[in-house]
Structure 1
Amino acid sequence: MKLTILGGGGFRVPLVYGALLTDRGEGRVTEVVLHDLDDSRLYAVARVLAEQAATVPDAPTVTATTDLDEALRGADFIFSAIRVGGLEGRANDERVALAEGVLGQETVGAGGIAYGLRTVPVAVDIAQRVARLAPDAWVINFTNPAGLVTEAMSRHLGDRVIGICDSPVGLGRRIAKVLGANPREAFIDYVGLNHLGWVRGLRVAGRDELPRLLADPDLLGSFEEGKLFGTEWLQSLGAIPNEYLHYYYFNRETVRAYREVERTRGAFLRDQQAQFYDEMKRPDASALTAWDRTRAEREATYMSENRETAGAGERDADDLSGGYEKVALALMRAIARDERTTLILNVRNQGALSVLDADAVIEVPCLVDANGAHPVAVDPLPDHATGLVCAVKGVEREVLAAAENGSRTTAVKAFALHPLVDSVNVARRLVEGYTEVHPGLAYLK
């Protein structure tokens, strides 16, 4: 089976390949094609993968190419993890937004909109090529903003594109752990959009264990989300929000913290990864050792400003291992081998969440089999959550419209309607600022 990885020179590709190395079952991936626009990054990542595979018999073969059509032809699965504009673009997203006093995070608020506006046209082109060159392939999208990009691609690929994210998986694992439950045996009642969802229940053997957690302040305050949001707020919500909702619930404090740091997250990752790729130019350097060291530092500093604002301290060691690559592997296995499973995924709504239309991409538990991912019908959200979900989905639709028609006016509307942008005038200045620093937004007229 052939897997093509778009963004194959990306830093986290070894996580995906590492997961593939653990799969020895029939119908496993035997061929990996890395595609990237940057030859040097492809070379660096290929070196890491070669060291990973050195002691593994029958490891999937790895080839690299800068030709997109060549990479897509004959693919059974296509994993999309591109970053349009690179980490320099992410750093600019943060800088322009923070200068206006609003959040510049890569998936949430102004930064997420800017990232979406320059990514959607590229993702749509990829989807159209897949439909033409590999119509039977399944596309697994990890490109951010994941829900928005998945919805853009679904307009050309239908249900053959599925978005994945490790945030709900990590949240469910943490909740199960503090409750003494096996995450593999628990059903996580999670619903929302990507980076905008809530765990409303965790059922083990048919019994919902979440009320027990919410009633115990010590248990509730013992894991990441309890430390981040505070036990009183979680008890007030009656649910456990995705960590990205910290940007909404504690927006003022988070923006202030981000404005005070010496380097934003994007600037930190830009500089850190530049060092890694530079090190890979030395033939005597151990690629896997350098990658492991860089990844450990990357994960340890994840959402550090939010944790500092909340007084949450350092992340637990168990939370530093990622997880999206395991979701991707489980998804591929379920489809390729008809190994039926339940995963939290980004898929078209199809009536699962009544407040949104059938084509809106949402993030919910899905039953996965050889025919793809099928969203499980979920109970309605409470009013406060419904309001946020509908507002952000409305913004996503404006982003998609702006990307399709190239309208600068529609782009301004997308920024102005976001709950974390507090003025139409700010929205206008954001569009001006982003078009000045991003060549990829020159299409907005």
Structure 2
Amino acid sequence: MKLTILGGGGFRVPLVHEAVATGATGLVVDEVALHDVDPARLATITAVIEEQGRRLVAEGRAARLPRLSATTDLREAVTGADFVFSAIRVGGAEGRIVDEKVALDLGLLGQETIGPGGLAYALRTLPVALEVARTIADVAPEAWTITFTNPAGIVTEAMRGVLGERVVGICDTPIGLVRRVGRLLGADLVAGTPGTGIDYVGLNHLGWLRSVTVDGTERLPGLLADDAALEEIEEARLIGKDWVRADGALPNEYLYYYLHTDAAIARIRSAEQTRGEFLAAQQGRFYDAAAPEACCSSPLELWSSTLHEREATYMAESRDEERREEDVAGGGYQEVALRLMTAIATGRGERMILDVGNRTASGDRIVPELPEDLVLEVLCEVDGAGVHPLPVGPVELGRLGLMSSLRSAERSILEAARTGSRDAAWEGFSTHPLVSSPELGAKLLAGYEAGHPRIAALLSGEREGHRGDRLR
């Protein structure tokens, strides 16, 4: 079995390799093929993974080391793949800095996936994602594509337009929320045990856990009423215990940016550097020091220490404290991806929260008010026959409105990415729920055209080769 990782020179790729090599899900992978457009970063991450493999063998933790290959040729990397993990970062951390700062300079939220920064990220990513999808369709049409590329919802939606249902988007934040709740209740909430389950619905980075049933009893209202329990749920601490009680649901942590926008902007602007600047500097130091020609004693040790700092400071603008270890732990996106891959490859059933099309296994729309081809984030059953979304309860008007408004703006950006329409891009920036202004939309568009040559070229009718694509 061949697994291809697009964005293979990205910082978090060793997490995927470790999960594969240790047989975390029991699946045997024969080859891991890394692809990246940056040969230097690809060489550095290859060195980290090779040392990681030797250490896993020495410690007796390796179930079976996969054969490792690395290439800058997309078609070579994808040919013969059974699964493709698409985790590209178009423009790298440097592009993220522009995304953040253009918005912040206009008094708007400057964040990677939420707000206008997320739209800018999408606008330069979607043409590349579509190119990747067309290449997969050409040389590996039977492969399953699992995409972590942000903004995950609209990127998944775009790729599904080429590859259909064999594209699935993943994120580790919904399952992190469900696990925290399950830990408190002493129950596995997604195992499919009769009388036990959840209702989670939304878009990527915009979702809500609205029901938690254990042994046939609804437990969420009692949980929301318990201050001590909510203190153990990161999302409730971030967003506010009184709010989650009033709302009657536990939100995805990214709702912080919608519910506390002014506070998030103020915190970001008061920091010495944006998150993009932090990651660009931190990862720049790592790649310089860990490069094979730099001859550091252990690229793996350097990578591990850098990873810990990165994870502990995740979403730092929303917290008054460093992330708790129990909130950092929990498997991460690499576990979600491997579990999904294993369920499809072996037929061993799983229940997972995934980004999929708006249609259940029985053919009904999951959310009847939304288009059939819109990608939602919901609980699914996965087996050898594929991914089967499960029904959810009726979606409340306020949640439905926010979901519709966000995806409408993202679809305008997708139209701009496909056609080069500047008007479509303007509409997308202007109608995002955290912008809602044609004047600000025009200023955002002008700022991103000035800061991103790729966007300027796209909207002027030109095209350029993609560079700076990496795993996030």
Would you say same fold, with TM above 0.5? yes
Deviation at 1:216, TM superposition (A): 1.2
Name the residue aligned to 2:388: 374
Name the residue aligned to 1:343: 352
Matches within 5 A, 1:11-410: 11-23=11-23, 28-54=28-54, 55=57, 56=62, 58-182=64-188, 185=191, 187-281=197-291, 282-308=294-320, 313-321=321-329, 323-350=332-359, 351-410=365-424
5+ unaligned residues in a row in structure 1: which ranges? Answer: none
Deviation at 1:283, TM superposition (A): 2.0
Q: How many residues align?
A: 441
Deviation at 1:222, TM superposition (A): 3.0
- Tell which has more relative contact order, 1 or 2 (C-alpha 8 A, sep 6+): 2
Deviation at 1:57, TM superposition (A): 5.5
SS across alignment from 1:199: strand
Instruction: Say if 1:392 and 1:419, in contact at 8 Å, map to a contact too.
Output: yes
Deviation at 1:26, TM superposition (A): 7.0
Deviation at 1:178, TM superposition (A): 2.3
Deviation at 1:369, TM superposition (A): 1.0
Q: 1:258 to 1:27 in 2, by over 3 A?
A: closer
Name the residue aligned to 2:459: 444
Instruction: Say if 2:114 and 2:257, in contact at 8 Å, map to a contact too.
Output: yes
Deviation at 1:417, TM superposition (A): 0.5
Deviation at 1:370, TM superposition (A): 1.3
Instruction: Tell me which moved more, 158-167 or 225-234.
Output: 225-234
SS across alignment from 2:37: coil
CA offsets, 1:136-156, max 9 Å, x none? 000000000001100000000
Deviation at 1:320, TM superposition (A): 1.5
C-alpha separation between the residues in 1 aligned to 2:180 and 2:63?
A: 34
Deviation at 1:121, TM superposition (A): 0.3
1:43 partner letter: A
C-alpha separation between the residues in 2 aligned to 1:226 and 1:42?
A: 39
Instruction: Say if 1:117 and 1:403, in contact at 8 Å, map to a contact too.
Output: yes
SS across alignment from 2:368: coil
Instruction: Say if 1:187 and 1:204, in contact at 8 Å, map to a contact too.
Output: yes
Q: 1:102 to 1:3 in 2, by over 3 A?
A: same
Deviation at 1:206, TM superposition (A): 3.4
Q: 1:231 to 1:109 in 2, by over 3 A?
A: same
Deviation at 1:271, TM superposition (A): 0.5
SS across alignment from 2:433: coil
C-alpha separation between the residues in 2 aligned to 1:208 and 1:373?
A: 27
Q: 1:25 to 1:434 in 2, by over 3 A?
A: closer
CA offsets, 1:353-381, max 9 Å, x none? 22211100010001111121111111122
Give percent identity, aligned residues only. 51
Deviation at 1:334, TM superposition (A): 0.4
C-alpha separation between the residues in 1 aligned to 2:117 and 2:155?
A: 15
Instruction: Say if 1:177 and 1:183, in contact at 8 Å, map to a contact too.
Output: no
C-alpha separation between the residues in 2 aligned to 1:25 and 1:200?
A: 29
C-alpha separation between the residues in 1 aligned to 2:182 and 2:26?
A: 31
5+ unaligned residues in a row in structure 2: which ranges? Answer: 360-364, 461-472
CA offsets, 1:395-441, max 9 Å, x none? 12111111111111110100111110142111101100101111111
Q: 1:315 to 1:161 in 2, by over 3 A?
A: same
| 2:431 corresponds to 1:417 | yes
Q: 1:213 to 1:26 in 2, by over 3 A?
A: closer
Instruction: Say if 1:279 and 1:285, in contact at 8 Å, map to a contact too.
Output: no
CA offsets, 1:203-228, max 9 Å, x none? 23333321220121221233211211
C-alpha separation between the residues in 1 aligned to 2:170 and 2:25?
A: 22
Q: 1:375 to 1:273 in 2, by over 3 A?
A: same
| 2:20 corresponds to 1:8 | no
C-alpha separation between the residues in 2 aligned to 1:159 and 1:419?
A: 29
C-alpha separation between the residues in 1 aligned to 2:72 and 2:166?
A: 24
Instruction: Say if 2:120 and 2:448, in contact at 8 Å, map to a contact too.
Output: yes
Instruction: Say if 2:28 and 2:64, in contact at 8 Å, map to a contact too.
Output: no
C-alpha separation between the residues in 2 aligned to 1:155 and 1:25?
A: 30
Instruction: Say if 1:142 and 1:163, in contact at 8 Å, map to a contact too.
Output: yes
Instruction: Say if 2:177 and 2:233, in contact at 8 Å, map to a contact too.
Output: no
SS across alignment from 1:443: helix
Instruction: Say if 2:171 and 2:333, in contact at 8 Å, map to a contact too.
Output: yes
C-alpha separation between the residues in 2 aligned to 1:75 and 1:273?
A: 29
C-alpha separation between the residues in 1 aligned to 2:289 and 2:25?
A: 35
Instruction: Say if 1:342 and 1:368, in contact at 8 Å, map to a contact too.
Output: yes
TM-score (norm 1): 0.96
Instruction: Tell me which moved more, 271-280 or 367-376.
Output: 367-376
C-alpha separation between the residues in 2 aligned to 1:266 and 1:25?
A: 33
C-alpha separation between the residues in 1 aligned to 2:188 and 2:458?
A: 49
Q: 1:27 to 1:261 in 2, by over 3 A?
A: closer
Alignment RMSD (CA, Å): 1.4
Instruction: Tell me which moved more, 361-370 or 319-328.
Output: 319-328
Deviation at 1:233, TM superposition (A): 0.3
C-alpha separation between the residues in 2 aligned to 1:355 and 1:21?
A: 44
